[in-house]
Amino acid sequence: MGPGGRLSFSGCVRAREIAMSSGYLFSVTPDTPPVESIDSGADVSLVVRGAFADVEDIRSVPTPFTPACDGHPLAPVSGPIKVNGAAPGDAVLIDILKMDVHEDGMTAILRDFGVLRQEFGDPKLLHCPVRDGKAWFADRIPVPLNPNLGTVSTMPPEGYKPSYAGPYGGDFDQKDAGVGSRIHLPVMVPGAMVFFADPHAAISDGIITGTGVECTATVTARITLVKDHQVEHPIIEYGDSIQFVGTGPSVEAATEAAAEHAVAYVAANTDLDREEAYMLLSIVGELRIGTSPRPIMAARLIVPRETLMNTGWSGPVTAAG
């Protein structure tokens, strides 16, 4: 148990503490002043507030991804963080080292949102306090914790559109983007301008209502710059897997993008040609949908690291790579 009753995941990490910012996803652009500038390899610690931290009444939240929702105080952002020396054509590796989950967990049905929005169209919020190593749904049903960040992102040149995902990461809501993961993202503007948002104490793939256990968390991450390394789409290293993320305007488009991303990567970095890569990934790859229904969907293809090593792969890029 951490300070103030917070649950701590992972070990003791010393990191530079970064002041909390006051922006939201809808307001972040390449012109947003960085809250901190760091050198490659620095560990940073920052409070990432929950998606509903500034929402007084869930019934006041308009339907997400509609013009009425533009400018609404959903999903406070922590960052952006400038990485010294980062330039377009580089990549950053973001290691999520630690998450101290605060006790303010909650989940909700949002207005006219989610997979079953025609049946469950009216807003409702339930408190899910975090204690004793679990999130307690409606304060009575224990749910195992799996802290993650719904949004891990570099800055796209055109600015960030609220709750959208893309090659830069964004609000991709991939369950495995949590403690112990390493996320590869492209640098698209000078300084990379890394930001975080939308922490969860627990979440599923697919999130059928559109929300997990939304909460505030103190996040410790290491941000490493890899010069002259092109990353076309996010890659997540987690456990014994390499995960290839794809995005698109539909489930089909997102899954196609994830598959294309994986095939291209494997064909370029192993002894396999594209046909062989496609066939092997059909046998060993696990396809997951991360996001709930929204204008831009995100999916990932999860591939065993051991299988890739057996194809002649030398491993993912590192700072020294």
User: Domain coordinates of the chain in residue numbers?
Assistant: 14-102+147-226, 240-309
Q: Which pLDDT does position 4 carry in this prediction?
A: 44
Q: Is 210 left (phi over 0), alpha (psi -120 to 50) or beta?
A: left
SS3 category, 312: coil
Q: Which pLDDT does position 6 carry in this prediction?
A: 59
pLDDT digit of tens for each residue in the chain (321 aa)?
444 445 655 555 466 676 555 577 667 888 999 999 999 999 999 999 999 988 889 999 888 878 777 777 778 889 999 999 999 999 999 999 999 999 889 999 999 999 999 999 899 999 999 999 999 999 999 999 999 999 999 999 988 776 689 999 999 999 999 999 999 999 999 999 999 999 999 999 999 999 999 999 999 999 999 999 989 999 999 999 999 999 999 999 999 999 999 999 999 999 999 999 999 999 999 999 998 888 899 999 999 999 999 999 988 877 654
| Beta carbons of 199 and 104 less than 8 angstroms apart | no
Tokens of 86: 């980062």
Kindly report the pTM of this predicted structure.
Answer: 0.91
Report the run of H or E that residue 262 belongs to, with start and end: helix 251-269
Indicate if 240-309 has the same CATH topology as 14-102+147-226: no
CATH superfamily of 14-102+147-226: Acetamidase/Formamidase-like domains (2.60.120.580)
Q: Which pLDDT does position 71 carry in this prediction?
A: 72
**Tokens 């339907």 -> residue:** 63
Q: Which pLDDT does position 8 carry in this prediction?
A: 59
Closest-CA residue to 51 (of 217, 204, 205, 214) = 214
Count of helix runs (H) and strand runs (E) in the chain? 3, 22
Whether the bond into 123 is cis, omega within 30 of 0? no
d(CA 241, CA 210): 26
Task: Give me the sign of the Cα torsion angle 26, 149, 281, 306.
Answer: positive
Q: Which pLDDT does position 5 carry in this prediction?
A: 47
Rounded to whole angstroms, what are the CA distances from 13 to 5, 36, 46, 99, 195? 18, 19, 13, 11, 20
CATH superfamily of 240-309: Acetamidase/Formamidase-like domains (3.10.28.20)
C-beta neighbour count of 274 within 10 angstroms: 12
| Beta carbons of 220 and 45 less than 8 angstroms apart | yes
